[in-house]
Structure 1
Amino acid sequence: MSRFLEDLRSLSSAEEFFSFLGVEFNPKVVQVNRLHILKKYQTYLKACDGEGNGESVSRETHKRCLERAYADFLTSDARSEKLFKVFQSEAGKAFVGLDAILPLAAAECSESKVNSSAEA
């Protein structure tokens, strides 16, 4: 593994990625959208590198991907980008399947039986 990749893997905050790759940024934009920017950066890297681990792309490509992800959030927001599941569902519509409800109902029913036998 190259020294660049070792250094890249040691980064933990969005600001560290920006500084390490030499990308200028507005701290207010990054503060509000840090996870979304890094997720979009990862998406762009995967498009450049089939495996998505970034090992076969250059430092310049990493920089361009981060710049592009950051630029997306200068003109957009997290809801519009829909990177995370919470933003992917339609507004006001949620679906809970019966497979999620039935085990809860069965457990509640069993608990009621146990409590009523203990009271008797």
Structure 2
Amino acid sequence: MCRCSANCNPINVNNILERLKRLSAAEEFFAVLWVSYDPKVLDVSRLHIMKRMGQYLASEDFSDLPDRVIAARAGAMLERAYDDFATSPPLTHRVFKVLKDHDPDNPATPGRTFVPLDSFLMPFEKE
């Protein structure tokens, strides 16, 4: 499991939401929020974990909460998202649209696609 090195300071909660918005690598989120992780799990599921954390964060209302509470909740959400994918593969959760659309257990409903007649009746251009 990875964790900040022993010389890291405890979590800095000041302006935590703004600081999280500026992060780019999944490892940075784990380090800032002091959440332990297995690099092997993160290597396989990083996008899924971050997407799921974003879904959890979007479901919360952080207005008028102190930074320490926001940091604690964000850390708990990251840990929860990580646990979702540490115990089962990404295909189980299908957090991305492309995976939801191609779920063999939930086939797409056959529908009618509208294609305008003009789109295929146009004369071919000569080269």
Same fold (TM over 0.5): yes
TM category, shorter: 0.7 to 0.9
CA RMSD of aligned residues (A): 2.5
Deviations 1:53-107 (A, max 9, x none): x5545101110000010011111121110111112133294557422xx14x632
Instruction: Give me the whole-angstrom Cα distance separating, in 2, the residues matched to 1:7 and 1:16.
Output: 10
Alignment of 1:1-120 (within 5 A): 3-47=15-59, 49-50=60-61, 56=65, 58-89=70-101, 90-91=103-104, 93-94=107-108, 97-99=112-114, 102-103=115-116, 106-110=118-122, 113-115=123-125, 118=126
Structure showing greater radius of gyration is 1
- Structure with the larger helix share: 1
In the superposition, the TM-score normalised over structure 2's length comes to 0.70
Deviating above 3 A after TM superposition, structure 1's stretches of 4 or more consecutive aligned residues are 54-57, 92-97
Offset, 1:18: 0.5
Q: Gaps spanning 5+ residues in structure 1: where? A: none
One-letter amino acid of the structure 2 residue matched with residue 19 of structure 1:
A
